[in-house]
Chains A and B, each alone.
Chain A
Amino acid sequence: MTNSVFVKPGMSPKDIVSNVRRLDAIALTSTGMRDAGQSDYKNRLRIRDLSTLSQEYNEMGLFSSECHGGARWHVGIMNRRESPFEEIALLREKMPNVLLQTLVRETNLWGYRPYPKNIIEHVISRVDIDVWRCFSFLNDVRNMRTVAEVVMKRGRLFQPAIAFTQADWTTNAYFLKLVREIVDLCGGTDEIILCIKDMAGVGSPRRMHSLFDAIKQAYPDLVLQYHRHATDGLALPAILAAVQAGAGIIDVEEDSLTRFFGQAPLLSVASFLEESGMRVHLNIRAADDAVQKVRDWIRHYEWAESPFKGFDHGVVMHRMPGGAFPSSFEQAQKGGFLHLMPAILKMMSLYNQIVKYFDVTPGSQVTWVTCSGIVNHYAKERGVAGVNHVIDLLTRFIEEKKQDFDAMSPEDQDELLHLFRGAPGDFKNLIVGSYGKLPMGWPADWVYTSCFGEEGPEKIRQRREDSPLDALPDEDLKRLYQELTEKLDRTPGEEEFILYLMHPKDALDFIQFREKYGDTPLVLPTDVWKSGLQNAGSKVDFEYRGVPYSIERVSIGAEHDGIIHAVMKVNNQIRVFKIETPRARKTEIRMAKGLTDIGAPINGTVWRIGNPERGPVRAGDIVHKGEEIANLEAMKMENAIFAPYDAQITEIAVHLNQMVKQGQLLFVLEEVREKE
């Protein structure tokens, strides 16, 4: 059924765009491998399970598979312990016909800070993705320049995305101005596809018809793709409206993955559009098979679903993006403030009228932390009454007084002037312009006093409107690479380095996890991955590198001194694993690190500290370059340790006749330089 395939990896952006134009049918992007999992399963859907769909994807006739993005990447290394690079490699191999699509932030890429130009160039040019959907939470087209340049230069398809929300200030004129800037940036409409990204699922059918129609009127040749979450329950009619007004590609997900906060169900959308007289490009049999295959494994992910279930039309007010729903509610649950969620959502719907931007990463995190912080603060100080009080205050300020600060009573003014005092650093950065200029201009001056106190006016003066791309100096990639080399104590791979650039601490944890546990995350079924083997005799069978394996639980002993012995059968052979519990006593060996540390070159015994001429050396002694300062013996071979430079011995970390491990710290030296 490869005749369903109308675009393939390797095609030029121009050919892809032209094939979409010629298709004469609505094309679909499946978000099953990225946004579906992010919006309803906290990004826990594992590539082992998702990749079971690849054969169907390969035949379905999709425009693309969205399988890559910031949170999938980050949760991948933190929680699934999968690298985005191995995911891409696996999917490339298993579905060679499918364009792989990412969602990338314009300056934050897949991490959480704005990167300088040289890092953006380094990273973007090394990730093997076909379709680059790139957005700015400020809709600041200037910020997309570097990503656009590198992607287009590589001959990959750049897909600029305009973040959409429904508000009095997000008019067609506002969006058309952005489209114009984008078309200018990308040199026309022949090599890009424009995405309208409704990340919260708030655009009403009528509004979407109007917007798509306006863009299509202005740019008839521009291919438009519509990305919309289903949170408000109106995804299907909104999609129909957008298609009728000229949207050519629609984001959907497998019906069996659908819950509440992701994309609309694939087969439903196809059938609804067809019934409404539109043609849809889809191999229905393959699509149906994919939908059925999901059912084989999705029941193993109930633990990852949001504790908040059901559509929420209130999203049109609070605008929490679909991708943030499960993680926000999970945080609320873990933090013990799930009961405050209605108030926090209400707070968000008020807050977003005071500071105007788009609730999508990193903006959505700023909104969430700021609003949940204010509500929690009031709840802690004054209980439920306090929470109701602050909501009343803001409602009065916004709805009655139309944000006229001077019209508020002096007590209300005083309270507003303290509202943002505990706001997070990212909120502060946002309103002084560290992320770039805000789409509807800066918030009112009282917000600065509220946030910074007396420094408010000074902060107002310091606001900047330039793009972070122009503001951030390049970083020293060689130094960063060296830093990772030292932390790993080996030469890192190029992909490991990119992981490290995005999430320094989490990437290290990930690399160390994989060194210890190998390909475990790619191999184990989800139940075993999450809970292990529950009973004696239970086992897990799998194939690995073309060979069958079986791991069986025989018995797990009681804990003694923080140690548990687990007896397992690995392909019928008994293995005993010694497992340390958190109560295990740690005997930590100090290893030699910097230039002043002298480590043991081998495993052995320290049989001499000092040398025969001068006798033993002690801390405080001066030693000379090339002088023997200790000698290790192992299996009757001697290994002299020489002072690498003239130095004073700061510390001797071992004692005579101690057994040491290779690399273990022996001496700390301090270099002695000749006095000038």
Chain B
Amino acid sequence: MDKKIKKVLVANRSVPAVRVIQTCKDRKIPTTAVYSTPDRLAAHVFMANDAVHIGEAPPVESYLNMEKIIAAARKNGANAVHPGWGFLSENAKFAQLVQDSGLIWIGPSPEVIHKMGDKIESKNIAREAGVPTIPGIDSPKTAGEIRRWMQEEDVAFPIIIKASSGGGGKGMVRVTDDSELENALAQARSEAKKSFGNDEILVEKFIEKGRHIEVQIIADQHGNVIHLYERECTLQRRNQKIIEEAPSPSIDDVTRRSICDTAVRLMRSIGYSSAGTVEFLLDSATGKFYFLEVNTRLQVEHGITELVTGVDIVSLMLDIAQGDPLSFQQEDIRPNRWALEVRLNAEDPATFSPSFGNISRLHLNLYPGARVSQGVYEGSEIPPYYDSLVMLLMTTGPDRETAIMKMDSILCRNLRVEGVKTLAPLLLSIIRHRDFIRGDFSTRFIEEHMDELVSMFPEGDSEEDVLKIARYVAEISALGTPNWI
């Protein structure tokens, strides 16, 4: 099989698709986009060299439709497939199908995806590799079974139920009280089924004040496994990350070395190749870290690692998929700055209720030290069927303070999205919060401080207010003097 990538089919949409296409463009590798019916005019479609319609709006008919995607690659002459993140990116069956179709799979091997994709199995593997794990129970069938395990292992509420094959916060439900257990179990199973086609779940002790730290790994097919240091992804809402930074402000160099080396050891032990992430939960009370999971794919927040290390992870994934060995060694990776990322989702910032519709205006004044990864353009529709991510905003500086300062400037003055609500006011409140600035936060920071954060939302936006005036002028000009005047 010819391992040279000639044309890449990007099996994704919006921000991840755009991100992959960007690197392909840099490297003059042609790309094919795929799209569902409501995405016919989406941003990623026009960035690629060509595009193929693969089905209707529901993901199972389009972005999760493996046959159609492979057919699209064949039809348009792509010899490699990049899955981005989400959708089929951690689907071993798809990876296998891609390879079986004679196409290059830009990602880890199907076997590794399969092994690590199952939370129960991956936890066992981690345990065997000597990586500490959180007390838990695999595939309990009933609430009674969960109660028994809690009694036997002396685990107290809160606990967390997760989809075994999950990720991205879907199918994750935290349970704080025994009375909620039945409903929570049903919800987690149903979400798991809907998102991953499999309602198997696992249950773990929920670590309060936990901090979420992950290590970016890059590994070639020749046994070279290198880490690109860690990211802190503690700030989450509904178990979905919304702010990430690199490096982590919550660990010292000793812990950093220990956590990075542990990640490398684990990934080497499973024969990992391509880009991947090992996620840990740091118990800030004890300073201990526990293995959470391995993400066998490119991650949303990979950009901040690129900013602090200077590498292009997507480009490395292309090299590795072609069989090229890594051209650098661990000691060549020397992060020398701080990077911060916020996820601009189309959601009501106070309620997280999704906000679909037309982006009637999109202004962004780029700024020294800023990077933007956007999946929409002015005039785009945000359809209700998919992820609500509109763009990723990243800033860097020599230190954390500078990165925060630059992010504040962008969110406060240099970004304007109209037509849909975004998380921008909440993101701004968070990065202005004294505890965030001090680096003192846990995964529950947002829920614990929500009222305070909402009260910090900026009031009055002159541009918005002038549009109200313009609307009045337009209405009176069109309709004439109102009778009440």
Please pick, from A549, A612, A626, A642, the residue contacting B186 in the complex, using a CB distance under 8 A.
A612
A284 within 8 Å of B (CB atoms): no
- CB proximity to B under 8 Å, residues A578-622: 579, 581, 601-605, 612
CB-CB under 8 A from A568, the residues of chain B are: 470, 473-474, 477
Are A577 and B354 in contact, CB atoms less than 8 angstroms apart?
no
- Docked Cα-Cα span, A38 to B401, in Å, equals 58
A662 within 8 Å of B (CB atoms): yes
CB-CB under 8 A from A581, the residues of chain B are: 479
A534 within 8 Å of B (CB atoms): yes
B222 within 8 Å of A (CB atoms): no
- Docked Cα-Cα span, A561 to B450, in Å, equals 43
- CB proximity to A under 8 Å, residues B461-480: 462, 464-480
- Docked Cα-Cα span, A530 to B476, in Å, equals 8
Are B354 and A634 in contact, CB atoms less than 8 angstroms apart?
yes
CB-CB under 8 A from A529, the residues of chain B are: 476, 485
| Interface SS, B side | helix
CB-CB under 8 A from B466, the residues of chain A are: 518, 544, 549, 570-571
Q: Which of A234-242, A449-457, A520-528 contacts B (4 or more CB under 8 A)?
A: A520-528
A638 within 8 Å of B (CB atoms): yes
Are A528 and B473 in contact, CB atoms less than 8 angstroms apart?
yes
Are B478 and A524 in contact, CB atoms less than 8 angstroms apart?
no
Please pick, from A533, A601, A642, A659, the residue contacting B473 in the complex, using a CB distance under 8 A.
A533
Interface flags, B237-254, vs A, CB<8A=1, else 0: 010000000000000000
Please pick, from B187, B194, B464, B473, the residue contacting A636 in the complex, using a CB distance under 8 A.
B194
Are B384 and A659 in contact, CB atoms less than 8 angstroms apart?
yes
Are B475 and A579 in contact, CB atoms less than 8 angstroms apart?
yes
Interface flags, B167-200, vs A, CB<8A=1, else 0: 0001000000000000100110011001100000
CB-CB under 8 A from B480, the residues of chain A are: 531-532
Please pick, from B385, B388, B474, B484, the residue contacting A577 in the complex, using a CB distance under 8 A.
B474
Are A636 and B195 in contact, CB atoms less than 8 angstroms apart?
yes
What would 8 more interface pairs be, CB under 8 Å, given A570-B467, A570-B470? A517-B472, A518-B469, A528-B473, A532-B474, A551-B469, A577-B475, A602-B351, A605-B384
Interface flags, A525-547, vs B, CB<8A=1, else 0: 00011111110000010001101
Are A637 and B238 in contact, CB atoms less than 8 angstroms apart?
yes
Kindly name the residue among A520, A528, A564 whose own CB sees the greatest number of chain B CB atoms within 10 A: A520
CB-CB under 8 A from A642, the residues of chain B are: 183
Q: Which residue of A lies closest to B180 (CB)?
A: A626
Kindly name the residue among B462, B484, B485 whose own CB sees the greatest number of chain A CB atoms within 10 A: B485
Q: Kindly list the 10 A-B residue pairs having the minimum CB-CB distance in the complex, ordered from nearest.
A: A532-B477, A518-B468, A532-B476, A566-B474, A602-B353, A577-B474, A520-B472, A634-B354, A517-B472, A518-B465
CB-CB under 8 A from B475, the residues of chain A are: 532, 566, 577, 579
Interface flags, B205-223, vs A, CB<8A=1, else 0: 0000000000000000000
B367 within 8 Å of A (CB atoms): no
A78/B484 contact (C-beta < 8 A), A520-B468, A524-B472, A556-B477 known: yes
B386 within 8 Å of A (CB atoms): yes
B104 to chain A, nearest CB (A): 29
A635 within 8 Å of B (CB atoms): yes
Interface flags, B300-325, vs A, CB<8A=1, else 0: 00000000000000000000000000
- CB proximity to A under 8 Å, residues B354-390: 354-356, 384-388
B28 to chain A, nearest CB (A): 35
- Docked Cα-Cα span, A602 to B476, in Å, equals 34
A551/B470 contact (C-beta < 8 A), A532-B477, A579-B475, A662-B348 known: yes
A516 within 8 Å of B (CB atoms): yes
A662/B477 contact (C-beta < 8 A), A517-B468, A547-B462, A575-B467 known: no
Q: Which residue of B lies closest to A534 (CB)?
A: B477
Are A635 and B478 in contact, CB atoms less than 8 angstroms apart?
no
- Docked Cα-Cα span, A602 to B351, in Å, equals 8
A634/B485 contact (C-beta < 8 A), A517-B471, A520-B472, A523-B469 known: no
CB-CB under 8 A from A544, the residues of chain B are: 462, 465-466, 469
Are A635 and B386 in contact, CB atoms less than 8 angstroms apart?
yes
Are A540 and B473 in contact, CB atoms less than 8 angstroms apart?
yes
CB-CB under 8 A from A637, the residues of chain B are: 170, 191, 238
CB-CB under 8 A from B351, the residues of chain A are: 601-602, 662
A134 to chain B, nearest CB (A): 30
B481 within 8 Å of A (CB atoms): yes
CB-CB under 8 A from A612, the residues of chain B are: 186, 190
Are A577 and B471 in contact, CB atoms less than 8 angstroms apart?
yes
Are A638 and B191 in contact, CB atoms less than 8 angstroms apart?
yes
- Docked Cα-Cα span, A642 to B179, in Å, equals 14
Interface flags, B444-472, vs A, CB<8A=1, else 0: 00000000000000000010111111111
A635/B354 contact (C-beta < 8 A), A518-B469, A540-B473, A579-B475 known: yes
Question: 8 A-B pairs, CB-CB below 8 angstroms?
Answer: A516-B468, A518-B464, A524-B469, A530-B485, A612-B186, A634-B354, A637-B191, A662-B353
Are A531 and B476 in contact, CB atoms less than 8 angstroms apart?
yes
Binding site for B on A (CB under 8 A): 78-79, 516-520, 523-524, 528-534, 540, 544-545, 547, 549, 551, 553, 556, 564, 566, 568, 570-571, 575, 577, 579, 581, 601-605, 612, 626, 628, 631, 633-638, 640, 642, 659, 662
- Docked Cα-Cα span, A637 to B475, in Å, equals 39
Are B473 and A524 in contact, CB atoms less than 8 angstroms apart?
yes
A384 to chain B, nearest CB (A): 31
Are B469 and A517 in contact, CB atoms less than 8 angstroms apart?
yes
CB-CB under 8 A from B195, the residues of chain A are: 636
CB-CB under 8 A from B354, the residues of chain A are: 602-604, 634-635
- Docked Cα-Cα span, A489 to B379, in Å, equals 31
CB-CB under 8 A from A549, the residues of chain B are: 466, 469
Please pick, from B187, B477, B478, the residue contacting A640 in the complex, using a CB distance under 8 A.
B187
- Docked Cα-Cα span, A637 to B387, in Å, equals 10
Are A575 and B470 in contact, CB atoms less than 8 angstroms apart?
yes
Are B469 and A579 in contact, CB atoms less than 8 angstroms apart?
no
Q: Which residue of B lies closest to A44 (CB)?
A: B485
Q: Which residue of B lies closest to A557 (CB)?
A: B478
- Docked Cα-Cα span, A499 to B463, in Å, equals 28
Are B478 and A556 in contact, CB atoms less than 8 angstroms apart?
yes
- Docked Cα-Cα span, A129 to B385, in Å, equals 56
Interface flags, B268-305, vs A, CB<8A=1, else 0: 00000000000000000000000000000000000000
- Docked Cα-Cα span, A575 to B186, in Å, equals 48
Are A601 and B468 in contact, CB atoms less than 8 angstroms apart?
no
- Docked Cα-Cα span, A201 to B27, in Å, equals 89
- Docked Cα-Cα span, A77 to B484, in Å, equals 11
A615 to chain B, nearest CB (A): 14
CB-CB under 8 A from B481, the residues of chain A are: 530-532
CB-CB under 8 A from A604, the residues of chain B are: 353-354, 384
A603/B477 contact (C-beta < 8 A), A575-B467, A635-B386, A640-B183 known: no
- Docked Cα-Cα span, A520 to B468, in Å, equals 7
- CB proximity to A under 8 Å, residues B80-129: none
CB-CB under 8 A from B470, the residues of chain A are: 551, 568, 570, 575, 577
A635/B384 contact (C-beta < 8 A), A575-B467, A602-B354 known: yes
CB-CB under 8 A from A530, the residues of chain B are: 476, 481, 485
A634/B353 contact (C-beta < 8 A), A79-B485, A556-B478, A662-B348 known: yes
Interface flags, B327-357, vs A, CB<8A=1, else 0: 0000000000000000000001001111110
- Docked Cα-Cα span, A549 to B467, in Å, equals 11
- Docked Cα-Cα span, A638 to B130, in Å, equals 36
CB-CB under 8 A from B479, the residues of chain A are: 564, 579, 581
CB-CB under 8 A from B471, the residues of chain A are: 516-517, 577
Are A638 and B190 in contact, CB atoms less than 8 angstroms apart?
yes
- Docked Cα-Cα span, A651 to B475, in Å, equals 38
- Docked Cα-Cα span, A662 to B183, in Å, equals 23
Q: Which residue of B lies closest to A518 (CB)?
A: B468
Are B467 and A601 in contact, CB atoms less than 8 angstroms apart?
no
